Amino acid sequence: MKFTAVIVVILFSSLCYSKVSLTLEQGPAWQSKNEFNIPGSTGSRVDLANSDSGPYYSMRLEGRWQLATNHAVKVLIAPYTSSTSFRSASDFTFQDYTFSGSQTLSTNYKFNSYRVSYLYTFNPKSNLRFTLGATAKIRDANIRVSDGVITKENPNLGFVPLLHLEVELLLDSKFTVALVADALAAPQGRAEDVLIKGIYNLDDKWRLYAGYRTLEGGANNSNVYTFAWLHYAVVGIESDFDWLAGEI
């Protein structure tokens, strides 16, 4: 409840400042690793990337509020799902249920991410800008396995703290290259989301970008073992809006 109230206050305060930007990102994603066994100590392990590496469709929606010259808040919605079929050579145990071997099993992998980040830019007027911050991430994940008759799933909803980094190099008035990352590692697991992109300024409000994103991480404990490594070829469009001037 307190966390929700803080977020509402931040978002309401941000609308009182003029600079708001929205970003839509899309592109294909491939999985070079999507490995799990559940429970982590007794389940059967499978790597879905061996059966189907993709591509899968991905998209993201991001809003950024510039609270002051150095301070900003960013909100991100990043859904991701993939469906894969694989054949188990022997009996396959998942969620304490054993599927018979030598049959095709279908899986649905969901990893939706919802994030709020606080950002501080050290040199906002320089051609080389550095931004550090902290991200509060809500992970909405689920792995579902089915043989067409019996379906078992492992939903997981949790909070993940991350560190945020942005490095931007303005090459000229039109072109910028940037690195954007959310990442943190702990004994319970790790998460890294890194984007390298080239940005083209259409005018003072609209920008296009293209780049490569990689998302890697997972957890390893007695309840669950799951690690995935995804690769994205992305394109995006960004726009600034002036709320005080009534532009939407």
Which of 79-82's residues contact partners 24+ apart within 8 Å by CB, and which partners? 79/112, 79/113, 80/29, 80/56, 80/110, 80/111, 80/112, 80/113, 80/230, 81/56, 81/108, 81/109, 81/110, 81/111, 81/112, 82/31, 82/34, 82/48, 82/52, 82/54, 82/56, 82/108, 82/109
Residue 106 included in any domain: yes
The phi and psi torsions of 125 (rounded to 5 degrees) equal -100, 5
What percentage of the chain carries pLDDT values higher than 90? 75
Burial bucket for residue 124 (CB in 10 Å: 0-12, 13-18, 19+): middle
Residue 71 included in any domain: yes
Beta bridge pairs of residue 184 = 191
Residue 247 included in any domain: no
pLDDT given at position 242 = 65
Distance CA 190, CA 123 (A): 30
Which tokens is 204 given? 């003072």
Distance CA 75, CA 2 (A): 18
Among 56, 55, 72, 54, smallest CA distance to 64 is for 72
pLDDT in tens, 98-137: 999 888 999 999 999 999 999 999 988 899 999 999 999 9
Residue 248 included in any domain: no
pLDDT given at position 9 = 53
Residue 105 included in any domain: yes
Residue 40 included in any domain: yes
pLDDT in tens, 60-105: 999 999 888 899 999 999 999 999 999 888 899 999 899 998 889 9
pLDDT band (50, 70, 90) for residue 18 = low
pLDDT in tens, 172-192: 989 999 999 999 998 888 999
Count of the separate structural domains present in the chain: 1
What percentage of the chain carries pLDDT values higher than 70? 90
Instruction: Note the pTM of the prediction, 2 decimals.
Output: 0.87
Distance CA 207, CA 25 (A): 12
179 lies in which domain range? 2-242
Distance CA 4, CA 1 (A): 5
Mean pLDDT value across the chain: 89
pLDDT band (50, 70, 90) for residue 248 = very low
Distance CA 157, CA 142 (A): 8
Q: What is the CATH number of the domain that holds 147?
A: 2.40.128.90
CB 130 within 8 A of CB 166: yes
Question: Averaged over 186-212, what is the pLDDT?
Answer: 94
Residue 205 included in any domain: yes
